[in-house]
Amino acid sequence: MPKRGYHHGNLRQALVEAALQLIESKGPTGFTLSEAAKTAGVTPAAVYRHFEGREDLIAEAARQGYEIFADLMQYAYDKGKPSALASFEATGRAYLAFARKYPGHYIAMFESGVSVNRTPELAAVAGRARSVMEQAASDLSEHIPPEKRPPATMFSAHIWAMSHGVVELFARNSPGSQSPFPPEDLLESGIGVYLRGLGLIKPDA
Task: Note if the pTM is more than 0.95.
Answer: no
The pLDDT of residue 4 is 45
CA 177 to CA 156: how far, in whole Å? 25
Per-domain residue ranges for the chain? 1-51, 55-197
Q: Do 141 and 152 contact (CB within 8 A), yes or no?
A: yes
Per-residue pLDDT of the chain (205 residues; tens, 9 = 90+): 444 444 445 888 999 999 999 999 999 989 988 999 999 988 888 888 888 889 999 999 999 999 999 999 999 999 888 888 888 888 888 988 999 999 999 999 999 999 999 999 999 999 999 999 899 889 888 878 888 888 989 989 998 899 988 888 887 665 455 667 888 888 888 888 888 888 877 665 4
Domain 55-197 is classified in which CATH homologous superfamily?
Tetracycline Repressor, domain 2 (1.10.357.10)
Q: Which residues, 6+ apart, have CB-to-CB distance to 158 below 8 Å? A: 150, 194
The pLDDT of residue 174 is 56
Backbone phi and psi for residue 171, each to the nearest 5 degrees, phi listed first: -110, 0
Instruction: For domain 1-51, give the CATH number.
Output: 1.10.10.60
The pLDDT of residue 3 is 44
The pLDDT of residue 177 is 58
Backbone phi and psi for residue 31, each to the nearest 5 degrees, phi listed first: -140, 160
